[in-house]
Amino acid sequence: MHSFLRLGITASPTHYQIQSKHAIPVIKEEFERVMKANIEKYIGKNIVIAGDGRMDSPGHSAQYCTYTIMEYENKDILACEIVNKRETDMKSTAMVKEGLKRCLKKLSDSGITIQELCTDASTSIASMIGKEYPDIEHSFDVWDGAKNFGKRLGAVGAESKNKELRPWLPHVINHFWYCCREAGGDEHKLLGKWRGVLHHVVNDHKWALGECDHGTLQEAEDSKWLEPGESSHLALTKLVLDTRFLHNLRFYKNFRHTEDLESFHEHILMYCAKRFAYTHPVYKARNYLACIDYQAHKDRGLLRNKKGEIRLHRMFSKKSNNWTCYPQKQPKKYEYIPELLRQIIDHFVSSDIPLTAPQEMSPSDPRKMKQTLSELFPPPCVLMEQKKSRFGDEK
């Protein structure tokens, strides 16, 4: 933009030198200060935390994973670890487990006792927690569980022989949410309420081992009662009583979710867009800035109009084909940025290292482990000689 408008601007080499030598160290120091202040609030306490990982690119080709731990009640970020693919034997799928281990170790070394951990419905994470951290109660995100079950239910309902099941899809998923919420940590109560849906859909609201919680039931306009033993009811029974699903149902008894953590990971896109590539120090610094931003603004109040009413923002969802709304928060002020800029200038003035001096790579930089992400080492500079065009002599 500056080149197009012919405006004076710092040259890119100077910009990157200032960024690496002065901006990144100051951002890291501020991030560590914020994390230390958050951790000190919970030292010596038993807390419930939520954890989730964010990849820097979709699919299995990610280079970085940001794993974040958030205190469940107050939504304070307690740990944020950046894992590079080079540190997990070039396996992207292993970065989430490595990030979680680092976060748990950091909290344990700080004197915080973890009572319960809520993550997404990952069987590998569940296996690791059960084997290596038996003292931590593990819960799954109820939204993630409802989404996964909804996908399976939708696939079964898509079959022509189970078309009578389709109107029941949202009701069965809502029943899953209701059962998890009403369980109150009781696994047996959760199982009993969950199995009751098989009776409800056939218009049987009182049976030998229980009854529905609803009162007088009005005739449903969009849902037709299923017939016991027909294809749709048998398909639903197979899903509801699936052995693996029932075994994992215990992870939802505390009705936990990671909504705020997912929202924070979406917020990281403001600093680390997935369509760009970053070096390891820059990627960490951008994630740290996102953490500082979140922590400074998480307790903002709601925006109100002149009448004192909460202002709502409407939004259309293409997935549900429906309108929804949510309350708007007060605008961000970014009051910490002037102080960060002052510290960067002070760091520049007090530094003895010339700005033009070569930047040395940190001993902990994963790029020291492996120069490139490719499995093959780059060949000598003979690529152009070996290159052949499909268009003959055209260049």
| Residue with the larger pLDDT of the pair 325 and 393 | 325
Determine the Cα–Cα distance for residues 74 and 70; give it in Å rounded to an integer.
9
Residues 223 and 278 in one domain: no
Task: Transcribe 123-185 into DSSP letters.
Answer: HHHHHHHHHH-TTSEEEEBHHHHHHHHHHHHHHHHTSGGGGGGGGGHHHHHHHHHHHHHHHTT
Residues 134 and 149 in one domain: no
The model's pTM: 0.89
- Is residue 220 very low, low, confident or very high in pLDDT (cuts 50, 70, 90)? low
Would you say residue 240 lies in a domain?
Answer: yes
> What residues contact residue 3 under an 8 Å CB cut-off, 6+ apart?
9
- Is residue 221 very low, low, confident or very high in pLDDT (cuts 50, 70, 90)? very low
Residue 144 has pLDDT above 50, yes or no: yes
pLDDT digits (tens, 9 = 90+) for 351-389: 998 888 888 888 889 988 888 887 777 676 666 777 777
Quick one: how far is CA 261 from the chain centroid? 6
Q: Which of 252, 270, 287 is the last residue of a domain?
A: 252
Residues 280 and 332 in one domain: yes
**Percent of the residues in the chain that have a pLDDT greater than 70, as a whole number:** 95
The amino acid that residue 232 corresponds to is S
Would you say residue 96 lies in a domain?
Answer: yes
Residues 272 and 215 in one domain: no
Would you say residue 188 lies in a domain?
Answer: yes
Residues 135 and 154 in one domain: no
Burial call 32-49: b when 16+ CB within 10 Å, e when fewer: eebbeebbeebeeeebbb
Residues 108 and 164 in one domain: no
Average confidence (pLDDT) over 9-15: 88
Task: Please tell me the total count of domains within the chain.
Answer: 2
Residues 134 and 274 in one domain: yes
Would you say residue 364 lies in a domain?
Answer: no
pLDDT digits (tens, 9 = 90+) for 283-321: 999 999 999 999 999 999 999 999 899 999 898 888 778
21 contacts 359 by C-beta, under 8 angstroms: yes
Residues 158 and 234 in one domain: yes
Would you say residue 362 lies in a domain?
Answer: no
110 contacts 41 by C-beta, under 8 angstroms: no
Q: Which two tokens stand for residue 152?
A: 């399976």
- Is residue 394 very low, low, confident or very high in pLDDT (cuts 50, 70, 90)? low
Residue 40 has pLDDT above 80, yes or no: yes
For helices 280-297 and 259-267, angle between their N-to-C axes, nearest 10 degrees: 130
Residue 116 has pLDDT above 50, yes or no: yes
Would you say residue 366 lies in a domain?
Answer: no
Q: What is the CATH number of the domain that holds 270?
A: 3.30.420
340 contacts 26 by C-beta, under 8 angstroms: yes
Residues 47 and 195 in one domain: no
pLDDT digits (tens, 9 = 90+) for 55-108: 998 766 789 999 999 999 999 999 999 999 999 998 888 999 999 999 999 999
Q: Which domain holds residue 219?
A: 143-252
- Is residue 392 very low, low, confident or very high in pLDDT (cuts 50, 70, 90)? low
Residues 14 and 126 in one domain: yes
pLDDT digits (tens, 9 = 90+) for 157-213: 999 999 999 999 999 999 999 999 999 999 999 999 999 999 999 989 888 888 898
Would you say residue 17 lies in a domain?
Answer: yes
- 176, with CB counted inside 10 A (0-12, 13-18, 19+), is buried
Q: What are the beta bridge partners of residue 71?
A: 49
100 contacts 51 by C-beta, under 8 angstroms: yes
Determine the Cα–Cα distance for residues 388 and 390; give it in Å rounded to an integer.
7
Residues 215 and 272 in one domain: no
| Residue with the larger pLDDT of the pair 11 and 19 | 19
- 137, with CB counted inside 10 A (0-12, 13-18, 19+), is middle
Phi, psi of 314 (to 5 degrees): -90, 150
Residues 226 and 281 in one domain: no
Please name which of 113, 52, 48 lies closest in space to residue 74, comparing C-alpha atoms. 48
Would you say residue 195 lies in a domain?
Answer: yes
